[in-house]
Amino acid sequence: MKIVQVSPYDYAFPGGVNHHIFCLGSKLTQMGHEVHYILPCSCPEDPPHIDNIHFIGKPIPIHASGSIVRSPISPRIFYSAHLCELLETEKFDIVHMHEPLFPPLTTACLRYSRSVNIGTFHATRPRSWGYWFWRPWLNQWTPKLDGRIAVSQPALDFISQYFPGDYTIIPNGIDLDHFDKHTEPFEEYLDGKINILFVGRLEKRKGFRYLLEAYRYLKRENPNIRLIVVGPLNKMRLHYKFITRGYSLKDVVYVGYASSEDLPRYYHTADIFCAPATGGESFGIVLLEGMAASKPIVATNISGYASVISREVDGLLVNPKDVKTLAGALDLLINDKELRERLGTEGRKKAVQFTWDKVARRVMDYYEETLDKCTRRIN
């Protein structure tokens, strides 16, 4: 089968959706299928030349829902002869678009594609003014979606508000071996202190400010703790470092971006993983990463996280923006090694359900089912 994975997000800035398409594509390739990719790239010079990656469009930073997405906005893409020719020449069996109703790149693929079209919806948030405003225009293309996937129930609930239809839930995946328990931790942090780990962009909706406030109170009663912050550099990092100095907080380490090789090492350096996001998370890849590394998790009780974490079974859930309960949950784990180990063990068992082998198999089954339906409809 010849498949193309389409993402509207910048190749040059690693993110959840792009990580998803390349992990999925890798597994589909291992199954014996030919996989291509279409996505934009903001590389200042010529983008890398990779035979099965097709770069279309120059993305720009867009502020949306407390985060920054990097995607093209030029309407010229919607009339791209290059894109039209690519789809016509390659004759893909499956065109799999991620966020297929996010103009202009994925909607342009939907417009020009004559293949079987699959759309995966990753996002969730309380509302979308963009979908509300553009819905009449987008509805002319939604009938071309032969199959619709949502990565979680919250993602399904969100998109169904604007585009009702038949959706199948297939979750994100995790490379279990990559976060294997035998991964070497960073020795400089193995000094007897309890390490609390945060992984993510320092954006408002990731909720790091509430973790920093909780740590401020925890440090008074638990001087033998450390907060390790892993995430790409941005202006907010300077803001939080200023707050850290203002509070005279000790043992807060901002390590910046971690490579794919180093990220598992930070998880295995940690004693506790904390995800304090305030909303806008449809699933929570970082939760799976922590679980795969057998780490106890404290996360906020938002819909995307609650669809992964079973309360007090493989993690602790607290109310978002509630510094007091967040500090209380972390304090409980800091002082109860047995509970940390039990939650970590159960989390690892949960992560096994989300391996990329299993997820890719489900996606392929969905491809075949949709192809069969389309073939019978034509005949």
2-173+355-378: CATH homologous superfamily? Glycogen Phosphorylase B; (3.40.50.2000)
Domain boundaries, the chain: 2-173+355-378, 176-354
Provide the whole-model pTM. Answer: 0.91
Task: Name the 3-class secondary structure at 60.
Answer: strand
Amino acid 46: pLDDT: 65
Amino acid 50: pLDDT: 82
Element (H, E) at 55: strand 53-55
Amino acid 145: pLDDT: 97
Residue 331, Cβ density class (10 Å: 0-12 exposed, 13-18 middle, ≥19 buried): middle
Amino acid 209: pLDDT: 95
CATH code 3.40.50.2000 for 176-354? yes
Bridge-based pairing of strands 225-230 and 116-121 is unpaired
Amino acid 208: pLDDT: 94
Amino acid 116: pLDDT: 97
Smallest Cα–Cα separation from 19: which of 178, 145, 186, 198?
Answer: 178
Cis peptide before 104 (omega within 30 of 0): yes
DSSP 325-346: HHHHHHHHHHT-HHHHHHHHHH
Amino acid 379: pLDDT: 61
Dist CA 197 CA 294 (whole Å): 13
The DSSP symbol for 48 reads P
Amino acid 45: pLDDT: 63
Dist CA 241 CA 254 (whole Å): 8
Q: What angle do CA 21, 25, 27 make, to 5 degrees?
A: 125
Amino acid 44: pLDDT: 60
Query: Do the Cβ atoms of 121 and 22 come closer than 8 Å?
Result: no
Amino acid at 13: F
Averaged pLDDT in 10-residue chunks for the chain of 379 residues: 97 89 97 97 74 92 74 88 94 97 93 96 88 92 96 95 96 92 90 96 91 96 97 80 89 92 96 95 92 97 93 96 98 98 96 96 98 83
Dist CA 183 CA 172 (whole Å): 22
Dist CA 171 CA 353 (whole Å): 10
Query: Do the Cβ atoms of 8 and 105 come closer than 8 Å?
Result: yes
Query: Do the Cβ atoms of 285 and 151 come closer than 8 Å?
Result: no
Note whether 2-173+355-378 and 176-354 share their fold.
Answer: yes
Task: Name the 3-class secondary structure at 42.
Answer: coil
Amino acid 70: pLDDT: 87
